[in-house]
């Protein structure tokens, strides 16, 4: 509130001001980046990242298949062609093997992508140790969509710092929020300057309104950046809370035919959402059963992101599965069929989480009994 009051008392409500400058500098420093550009959405940060890399009509852009549509919609804003890359089992993020196959074929067809958008899903870093050398080999720049992973790390290196450009979201549901907003991250001062120029309607630096390029109204206001500054002070606490929510689920659900997505060694996740993966072969419980049982008690849970190769709007786009022979629909399709995003809000009390856990355990008991009855009959 004090940062917001400061904006009012200095009469810098909008468009820019001290809060924007400090929020950009502090956020960029938090992820070891030279520059941050505060924007009105993470989606806008992805759009500007694509433009900075020269993506235009007819170009190809690779993108993680298992993600939210905000990761890839900007590819179409620029009339480029998305190609979706499947995920791997361990991180649920872009599979190096699938990316390698896609790059090899693209190189052979002389149609290398202009960029690869790699998503850090549910707060979990992708395997950049494997992905970045591949992209380097083919000279293709990476945009890291760390919208859900502000505060996550891979071997001590922060998410948001891996690609030529990084993206954060401060949408209302994210680990910290400005009610709506995002940030573009880079070490390149010229790129940051160009992004600021495009984000403020591409006004040429002359004493009247002159435009030699098309711009956008994408900048974050000084009031919202004030919220962001305040939220940054809470980031460490939020990360601790999210981890303890994850750890409680993981410990309580150990005996059921399901697993809570957990960061592999060397990774630290934000656990933005705790995600349960059901073992469909070992039980009859399916994601809609758990979601319905929780909903009956007024508790919201959701399906895992529906992968982009299964989305009607992207149905015609090429897709590279992790294993063409054994699973052409992709690991991401299997995770969609078997995953549930569990309640993960940091305001949830331990008692409330215990209630969620009891309901989930009840689902497995219920189905087990039903199954037993059927087999006995």
Ligand X SMILES: Cc1ncc(COP(=O)(O)O)c(C=O)c1O
> Is there binding between residue 145 and ligand X (CB under 6 A)?
yes
Q: Are 65 and 84 in contact (CB under 8 A)?
A: yes
Dist. CA 151–CA 160, nearest whole Å: 9
- Nearer Cβ to ligand X (151/182): 182
Q: State both tokens at 223.
A: 């009031």
User: Closest separation between CB of residue 166 and ligand X, Å?
Assistant: 12
- Nearer Cβ to ligand X (6/73): 73
Cα-based angle 183, 271, 125 (whole degrees, multiple of 5): 60
Looking at 234-349, list the stretches that DSSP marks H as alpha helix, in order from N- to C-terminal side.
Answer: 235-252, 287-295, 331-338
> Is there binding between residue 48 and ligand X (CB under 6 A)?
no
- Contact flags string 101-120 toward ligand X, x per CB under 6 A: ------------------x-
- Nearer Cβ to ligand X (286/306): 306
- Nearer Cβ to ligand X (172/193): 172
> Is there binding between residue 124 and ligand X (CB under 6 A)?
no
- 74 membership: H or E segment, kind and range: helix 73-77
- CA quadruple 110, 318, 261, 239: dihedral positive or negative? positive
- Using CB under 6 A as the binding criterion, the count of chain residues that bind ligand X stands at 14
> Is there binding between residue 166 and ligand X (CB under 6 A)?
no
- Nearer Cβ to ligand X (3/272): 272
> Is there binding between residue 27 and ligand X (CB under 6 A)?
no
Among 169, 268, 332, 338, binds ligand X (CB under 6 A): 169
- Check whether the bond before 332 is cis (ω within 30° of 0): no
DSSP 326: T
Q: Are 82 and 72 in contact (CB under 8 A)?
A: yes
> Is there binding between residue 148 and ligand X (CB under 6 A)?
yes
- Residues sharing a CB contact under 8 Å with residue 69, sequence separation 6 or more, in sequence order: 308, 311, 313
Residue for token pair 């900007």: 74
- Nearer Cβ to ligand X (24/145): 145
Cα-to-chain-centroid distance, residue 363:
29
Piece of the chain touching ligand X by CB under 6 A; list 144-152, 207-215, 277-285, 331-339: 144-152
User: Closest separation between CB of residue 122 and ligand X, Å?
Assistant: 9
Binders of ligand X among residues 64 to 83 (CB under 6 A) are 67-68, 70-71
- Residues sharing a CB contact under 8 Å with residue 161, sequence separation 6 or more, in sequence order: 31, 32, 33, 144, 185
> Is there binding between residue 42 and ligand X (CB under 6 A)?
yes
Binding residues for ligand X, per CB under 6 A?
Answer: 41-43, 67-68, 70-71, 119, 145, 147-148, 169, 171, 182
């Amino acid at each position: 509130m004090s940062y917001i009051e400061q904006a009012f008392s200095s009469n810098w409500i909008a468009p820019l001001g001290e809060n924007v400058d400090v929020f950009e500098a502090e956020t960029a420093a938090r992820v070891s980046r030279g520059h941050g550009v505060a924007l009105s959405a993470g989606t806008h940060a992805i759009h500007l990242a694509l433009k900075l890399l020269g993506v235009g009509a007819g170009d190809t852009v690779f993108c993680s298949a298992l993600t939210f549509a905000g990761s890839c919609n900007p590819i179409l804003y620029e009339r480029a062609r998305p190609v979706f890359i499947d995920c791997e089992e361990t991180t649920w993020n872009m599979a190096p093997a699938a990316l390698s196959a896609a790059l090899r074929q693209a190189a052979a067809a002389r149609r290398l992508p202009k960029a690869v958008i790699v998503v850090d899903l549910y707060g979990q870093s992708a395997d950049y140790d494997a992905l970045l050398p591949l992209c380097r080999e083919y000279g293709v720049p990476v945009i890291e969509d760390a919208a859900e992973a502000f505060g996550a790390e891979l071997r001590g290196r922060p998410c948001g710092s891996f690609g030529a450009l990084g993206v954060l979201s401060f949408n209302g549901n994210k680990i910290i929020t400005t009610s709506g907003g995002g940030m573009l991250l880079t070490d390149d001062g010229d790129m940051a300057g160009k992004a600021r120029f495009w984000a403020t309607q591409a006004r040429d630096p002359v004493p009247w309104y002159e435009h030699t390029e098309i711009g956008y109204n994408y900048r974050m206001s000084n009031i919202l950046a004030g919220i962001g500054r305040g939220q940054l002070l809470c980031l460490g606490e939020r990360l601790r809370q999210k981890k303890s929510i994850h750890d409680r689920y993981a410990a309580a659900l150990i005996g059921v035919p399901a697993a809570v997505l957990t960061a592999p060694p060397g990774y630290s996740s934000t656990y933005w959402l705790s995600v349960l993966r059901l073992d469909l072969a070992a039980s009859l419980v399916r994601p809609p059963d758990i979601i319905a049982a929780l909903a009956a008690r007024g508790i919201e849970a959701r399906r895992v992101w529906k992968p982009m190769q299964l989305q009607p709007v992207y149905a015609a786009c090429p897709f590279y599965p992790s294993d063409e022979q054994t699973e052409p629909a992709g690991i991401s399709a299997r995770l969609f069929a078997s995953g549930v995003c569990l309640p993960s809000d940091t305001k949830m009390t331990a008692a409330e989480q215990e209630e969620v856990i009891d309901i989930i355990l009840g689902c497995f008991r219920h189905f087990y009994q039903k199954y037993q009855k059927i087999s006995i009959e």
